[in-house]
């Protein structure tokens, strides 16, 4: 008879895998619904045990892709282009008056 038990990962191993996939601690906290203070204790190995709900919330993140990273430059470019478009529109309106 085969034993179909799967080896459970430790919290530190879970965090190592998530970091390798590109997850950041802030995103893990938001997606899993766990406070960042607790996550930092879990990731360093200080907190060795957690509830099943938190453990499986972290484990479910292994199947998901990390959220896109928005750089500050991309955000500033978007605001600049919006301002540029507003300026062009106001210039066109003033020529037609």
pLDDT in tens, 1-12: 456 667 788 888
Give the residue-averaged pLDDT of 18-28: 89
Whether the predicted pLDDT of 62 surpasses 70 = yes
Instruction: Specify the pTM.
Output: 0.61
CA–CA gap between residue 43 and residue 61 (Å, rounded): 15
Fold for the domain defined by 7-66: 434 Repressor (Amino-terminal Domain) (1.10.260)
Three-state SS string over the chain comes to CCCCCCCCCCHHHHHHHHHHHCCCHHHHHHHHCCCHHHHHHHHHCCCCCCCHHHHHHHHHHHHCCCCCCCCHHHHHHHHHHHHHHHHHHHHHHHHCC
């Amino acid at each position: 008879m085969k034993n179909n038990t799967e080896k459970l990962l430790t919290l530190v191993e879970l965090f190592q895998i998530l970091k390798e996939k590109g997850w950041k601690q802030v995103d893990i906290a938001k997606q899993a619904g766990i406070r960042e203070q607790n996550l930092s204790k879990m990731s360093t190995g200080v907190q060795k045990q957690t509830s099943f709900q938190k453990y499986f919330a972290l484990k479910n993140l292994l199947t998901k892709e990390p959220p896109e990273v928005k750089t500050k430059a991309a955000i500033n470019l978007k605001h600049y282009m919006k301002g540029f478009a507003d300026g062009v529109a106001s210039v066109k309106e003033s020529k037609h008056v």
